[in-house]
A = this chain, B = another copy of it.
Amino acid sequence: MSKVNINKQKKKNALMESAYELFTTEGFIKTTIRDITHKAGVAKGTFYLYFKDKTDIREAVIKSTASQLLQEACNSLDEQMKNSDVQMDVADIFVYIIDYLVEVVAKDDLLVRFIAKHLSWGLFYTGSTTPGMNYPTSQSNSSDPDLDIEQYVINKLGEYNVRIKDLKLLLFTLLELVSSTCHDVILYQQPVPLEEYKPYLNNCIRLLVNSAIEQTN
């Protein structure tokens, strides 16, 4: 990548990071373009060189964040399976990942406000970014995250001699279920606190996952 392109990417990243911080701490509506550019250390006009408007950068930030989060969760699972002797069954895998996500999100009251209700956005939607403003190649791995998670799960399950029926739907359903319920539970402790809800939620997940398992030989 040419030096000038690297510089452009830096600017774009700086804007996205600033936007992320402000969206989570101040909220989307209260955050202004001026805030974003100021924090990123660029001029206001520069913003419009990279994003069409505020919703455009929000979408970019959500996708990037959700992707990253899931990536972390998967990495953590990999290590866990490598290092631990305890045998996990298929449902355990789903529960582990979801638990990971919930824990991360729960620790960050601000993150949940911003992203929880949109967790699956980063994974299943090919939302229309500003035309001609695609992510640069350096991020292209995460720009098509749909494959990632689905494929990741398929690989993970390779050794189990099982097949998951309607895997895409299952993933979608689980993510929405989790993000939606936890959003309310974490933020408002309604109808019960998180610690009380988690066992219940995990049980739901196991039910849905186990019901989707088909043995293959």
Contact = CB atoms under 8 A, between A and B. Distances in A.
A40 B166 CA distance: 48
Interface string A103-120: 000000000000001001
A145 to B, nearest CB: 12
Nearest to A201: B173
Contacts of A177: 173, 176-177, 180-181
A169 interface: yes
Contacts of A117: 117, 180
Contacts of A207: 207-208, 211
Q: How many copies does the complex hold?
A: 4
A177 B208 CA distance: 12
B188 A125 contact: yes
Identify whether the interface residues of A are mostly helix, strand, loop, or mixed: helix
A98 B179 CA distance: 20
Contacts of A184: 120, 124-125, 172, 176
A117 B184 CA distance: 11
Contacts of A176: 177, 180-181, 184
Contacts of A125: 184, 188, 190
A187 to B, nearest CB: 10
Contacts of A208: 204, 207-208
Contacts of A192: 168-169
Given A177-B177, A179-B180, A201-B173, A191 B168 contact: yes
A13 to B, nearest CB: 26
A169 B117 CA distance: 19
16 contacts: A117-B117, A117-B180, A120-B184, A124-B184, A124-B190, A125-B184, A173-B181, A173-B201, A176-B180, A176-B181, A177-B177, A177-B180, A177-B181, A204-B208, A207-B207, A207-B208
